[in-house]
Structure 1
């Protein structure tokens, strides 16, 4: 009996019991859809979190905080370390920043803002991806670049008791600065430990690019090393600190950096660079290590959800077992005739396994299609439900359900395995039917 004849025989038999076969396929489809939709929650949340991590920080970025010496003391990063980092293979850029150890007030006429201030080496920042929304980079000591939110947070000086800010922290329209800041002179007002103040005139020549996320703000001010030295000369302390216990700065003191970041040429190179730095006792952090932990947690979660979903398919397999058992009983005369004309028991078993496989495959394909529909509906409706019922805005770019093609293949494979095992016992029973008893319908 050829395979073509076997398929034809299976199709004829399935048509004889359309209702029973349809209900069995429906149960299989529901089980498969439940498995895929349940597991898709893990895949969706995993994809959303990884996407957030990828957008918030560059995946090629490695933060270097300090180095531990032989006495297990932490040493700040200096120029010697920077040269070592730049000499490493696959390093694209090494950014370094010094923080002004006080928060100056910046004034433009009657408008002012208090902002964090950093000394920045722009050539390496540009290599790392630093961009401007308008203007240019500084080429003189008294020129500065400000963060994207700096103009928005610049507020008109008001009398005591008047609040120039809205509830969300933004500046009210009547107190907000209007016009372009490019080319404007701003007075940076700093103070020393005795609360004496001085103003350093600076020119704004550029505004940094808007952060990737709408809720993120950046009102930092990027100054030159020359300006920092002027502040240190006024305060007499390292970094312009105003802390009383801060020691006075010594001549020839080694320059150190507060923020050092290494940018690799590609994601694959990050792990190798981190391993070299760890071997040299540098304290580092990279998003790759965080992604490893997140991936491990979600891998366990997805395996658990797939196992739970498989229970639904096992329940559906009971229906397949029942359908195939009844098929063996009803087709006893046909089995007897096939045996009488010399049909191989293996062929008889193959026919019933083929039928159970067809039921499982059709049910799996239908369930997969239904799962994709449910996934789309959930992703569309869930944000609306959260917003209308709980009066809260869902996280931006939340993907509650995501079905990769690998999940579909895994689910279809599990469904086929379960259905084949469900039809195995009835198929075995069919091969043991006695010819004479089958002809008499006395099984």
Structure 2
């Protein structure tokens, strides 16, 4: 038959105790000493908040980097180059072999030459890049003004080049007549060079920080050479990229792709996030020690109450549950407070970064990203830390001799 009693004028208990009784009594114990409970929860919140904030910045920078890459290239694009172009050249025969690979959809040949660009008698050093029309479907970039070149004699220039000639607005450079002087080797093994001049019309300006002008020339006749600097290749599907890179390696050439770059970035940021989480973990360990100290003090303060509970029929199991649940509540509340702390920190950091970006006339960015799954994982981790911290005080409390506990002052 069940019996009931009240402890220190608090929750009416029924024996054997139900789980709801244990939860309510744990809650009453927490709110009974509001200041101590708040400070303990805040300590856990600082530790959890530090982990969420630091790892969230790591995730945000990772997302920002990947999004920038994805926006400037297609997932199926590869870039092929030779480590030693004097010995192993990328020529028309190599291009033909690559085009015949089953994974290949498109190939674009690219040549880079040192040279100069002249606008209205003002001359500046610049890299001259000769591409074919396929190039812009493989590496579109960010066009700030105008269009991509379609006809012979048309070119696009980087924004950095436009600024070199005093034009801050990209639109102002569209339609400009320019002359380029290109220095090309007569043969790949010769040291002698020839200077070729070409008149062009600028039809577009793209976003790039380097001094660069691009000419679309399908036959590479405007500026010719006996080999190419590199190739842009489009695989048929994203699943073909890795196998295509393996085929390129067998031909003796190196290659990079967005898929491989993303893998490398993810690997680097994974370690970066672990390091940031480690800093936050230090704060959490300190907070856990504080929580352990709080639970130990609570045990000493409630020794007499525990003795009364044990004397009127409370089982050791219920005493253990009482302390473990109380510690778990502290951990869970600390996790929720940590999320709030982290978001407040994020608002300040993002606001500061965007103010700097605005002053530098750069677009706004978000440097913080946190998957919902990670937030739930952190909440679970915080709860687990609380439960584990309460294990030792709970075991001590359940092992108290009721007679000794009743005499405790």
Check 1:44–1:226 CA distance in 2 against 1; reply closer, same or farther (3 A cut): closer
Where do 5+ consecutive residues of structure 1 fail to align?
A: 154-167, 232-237, 240-254
Query: Which residue is 1:242 aligned to?
Result: none
CA distance 1:130–1:2, change in 2 (3 Å): same
Partner residue of 1:421 out of 371, 383, 388: 388
Cα distance, 1:13 vs structure 2: 1.9
Asked if 1:220 is matched to 2:203, the reply is no
1:435 corresponds to which of 393, 396, 402: 402
Q: Which residue of 1 aligns with 2:90?
A: 77
- Cα offset, 1:180, TM superposition: 6.5
CA deviation string 1:108-133 (max 9, x = no partner): 9x8988865555432x3354255983
Cross-structure match for 1:10? 26
Tell me if structure 2 keeps the 8 A contact 1:92–1:127.
no
Counterpart contact for 2:119–2:179, Cα < 8 Å: yes
Distance 1:271 1:374 in 2: 40
Structure 1 residue 426, shift from structure 2 partner: 0.7
> Does 1:211 pair with 2:178?
no
2:346 aligned residue (366, 375, 383): 375
Change in Cα spacing, 1:34 to 1:226, as seen in structure 2 (3 Å) is closer
CA deviations 1:292-311 (Å, max 9, x no partner) are: 34333322222122122112
Asked if the contact 1:48–1:397 (Cα under 8 Å) also holds between the matched residues in 2, the reply is: no
Structure 2 unaligned blocks of 5 or more:
1-16, 187-191
Over 3 Å counting, the alpha-carbon distance change for 1:373 and 1:114 in structure 2 is closer
Evaluate the alpha carbon distance shift between residue 343 and residue 276 of structure 1 in structure 2; reply closer, same or farther with a 3 A threshold.
farther
Question: Mean alpha-carbon deviation: is it higher for 33-42 or for 417-426?
Answer: 33-42
In 2, the alpha carbon distance for the partners of 1:424 and 1:98 equals 68
Match of 1:144 in 2: 153
The verdict on how the C-alpha distance between 1:63 and 1:306 changes in structure 2, with shifts beyond 3 A counting, is same
Q: Please point out which of 126, 132, 149 is paired with 1:121.
A: 132
Q: Deviations over 1:274-325 (max 9, x none)?
A: 1222233222233444443433332222212212211211211222222222
| Contact 1:60–1:264, Cα closer than 8 Å, also in 2 | yes
Seen in structure 2, the aligned counterparts of structure 1 residues 349 and 394 have a Cα distance that, compared at 3 Å, is farther
Q: TM-score of the superposition, structure 2-length normalised?
A: 0.75
Following TM superposition, by how much is the alpha carbon of 1:34 offset from its aligned partner in structure 2, in angstroms?
2.2
Query: How many residues are paired up?
Result: 383
1:298 is matched with which residue: 269, 275, 284? 269
In 2, the alpha carbon distance for the partners of 1:171 and 1:332 equals 81
Partner of residue 28, structure 1: 44
| C-alpha deviation, 1:353, in angstroms | 0.4
Secondary structure, counterpart of 1:95 in structure 2: strand
TM-score (norm 1): 0.70
